[in-house]
Every structure is written in structure tokens, then in C-alpha cells.
Amino acid sequence: GQQVMQIPQYQHVQEGEDFTTYCNSSTTLSNIQWYKQRPGGHPVFLIQLVKSGEVKKQKRLTFQFGEAKKNSSLHITATQTTDVGTYFCAGRASGTYKYIFGTGTRLKVLA
Amino acid sequence: KAGVTQTPRYLIKTRGQQVTLSCSPISGHRSVSWYQQTPGQGLQFLFEYFSETQRNKGNFPGRFSGRQFSNSRSEMNVSTLELGDSALYLCASGPGTGADGEQFFGPGTRLTVL
């Protein structure tokens, strides 16, 4: 079945450093979504990518969708303590209504 | 608009019992998905409903079932509880008829099976 792997599992960075998490799917995706979950909270939607090679930016966050629509990345520039949390990608295969979530990357930002 | 609500927020059950969890989506949303979140397995898809029809099901045993009512509220039921069913159960609602678009998650129901 469809699998979505995410690396790294954990990342500790100094405040001000950059951070990147990568997401790889075993199957071609129709679209991919990114979520952030703060400790003790629930996932909150960040963005959705649909087109092959798409790049979207939200302030310090840059999201990319691979040309083959099987991989994606999230890059945070100059991390802040408010960026702490777990970042999940969620991919949907064509013809389905279910999202398979990646394993998540837990980000810790040291002040 | 009120967000997605889930009840109860916390639940303690013993092995062999059954449990029903409830999810009220954002007003106007017709799609409801359920997920199980555990530290070891992450977020795993259980099922998705749209207009009272189950459109997709994850790889969970038949002990896990769900339904959606005409007002879009959804329930999931777990019968013959096992220790491994202890998890945070999240529901998410979506506004569209398709599967694209933001999913709005509720706060979850924390289920502990003793």
C-alpha cells in the first residue's frame, strides 16, 4: 500500500538556523499537504501543493513539490522558538479520498 | 464559526469494552475523516465520510467502524477494545466535495485502555 516516509525524525537547531524536512511517497500523489502540530495540540494546516514542481512560500516557510509528484520538502529560514512542533506531510493518491501522513519531523529550537 | 468539536475529550476503558466517539464538523462541512495517532505509528487514516457515505477506509480491523449522520456529525465505534487501541483519535472536517483542500482537525479524544 501507499507509504509516506519523512526525514529526519528529529531535528534540534539553534534559533536563527535553517531547517528542512523531506517527505517521500512510494506512489505518485495527486496533492500533498503540510501540517504543524504543537506539543499537546492537534495538526494545523499549513499549505497544499498540487502541481508538479510547485513552490510556495509563506513568510519564512518554503514548500516544494517534486517534479514526479512523489516527494516534497518544507524549509524554514531563520528558525524561531515559535516554530517548535512536529511537521507532517500528508499525501493523497489519485482516485482516493484518504491522506496518508508522513511519520513527522519533530523540531526543537534552542534559544 | 465554531471549530471541529470532539466528545468526549478523555476516556478510560478496560479491555473487551466498546467505545463510541463523536465528532461535529465545522458548520457546512460535509467531509469527515478519522485518524488514530500514537507515538509509535504516527497519524494513521481510519476512514472518510461524505454525505453519509464512507468513501475510503484505512487498514484497521473490523472492530473499528464509523458512520455519518445527515447533519454531517460523525461517530466512530471501537468494539472489543485492546490495549493497543490506546491512542489519540482525531477527526478532521473539510469543506469540499472532493478530497482537496484544508482539513480542519478537532482537539481529539484521548482513549486509554486498561
Q: Look at residue A74 in the predicted model and tell me its pLDDT.
A: 98
Per-residue pLDDT of chain B (114 residues; tens, 9 = 90+): 789 999 999 999 999 999 999 999 999 999 999 999 998 888 999 999 999 999 999 999 999 999 999 999 999 999 999 999 999 999 999 987 766 788 999 999 999 999
> Cβ separation of B56 and A100 shorter than 8 Å?
no
Min distance A40 CA to chain B CA atoms (Å): 9
Write down the mean pLDDT value for chain A: 95
Q: Look at residue A44 in the predicted model and tell me its pLDDT.
A: 96
Q: Look at residue B41 in the predicted model and tell me its pLDDT.
A: 83
Q: Which of A42, A50, A101 sits opposite B107 (nearest CB)?
A: A42
End-to-end CA, chain A: 41
- Measured CA to CA, the distance from residue B74 to residue B24 in angstroms comes to 7
- Measured CA to CA, the distance from residue A7 to residue A102 in angstroms comes to 9
Residues from chain B contacting residue A97 (CB–CB below 8 Å) = 31, 48, 50, 55-56, 99
Residue A4 grid coordinates: 509516506
Residues from chain A contacting residue B101 (CB–CB below 8 Å) = 48
Task: Write the DSSP string, A56-82.
Answer: EEETTEEEEE-TTSSEEEEEESS--GG
- Chain B within 8 Å of A5 (Cβ-Cβ)? no
Residues from chain A contacting residue B29 (CB–CB below 8 Å) = none
Residue B96: closest CA among A33, A54, A1? A33
Q: Look at residue B57 in the predicted model and tell me its pLDDT.
A: 92
Mean pLDDT of A54-64: 98
Residues pairing with A29 in the sheet: A93
Q: Which of B42, B90, B99 sits opposite A97 (nearest CB)?
A: B99
Interface A-B, measured as beta-carbon pairs within 8 A, has a size of 60
> Cβ separation of B108 and A42 shorter than 8 Å?
yes
Q: Look at residue A95 in the predicted model and tell me its pLDDT.
A: 83
Residues from chain B contacting residue A30 (CB–CB below 8 Å) = 99-100
Residue A58 grid coordinates: 509563506
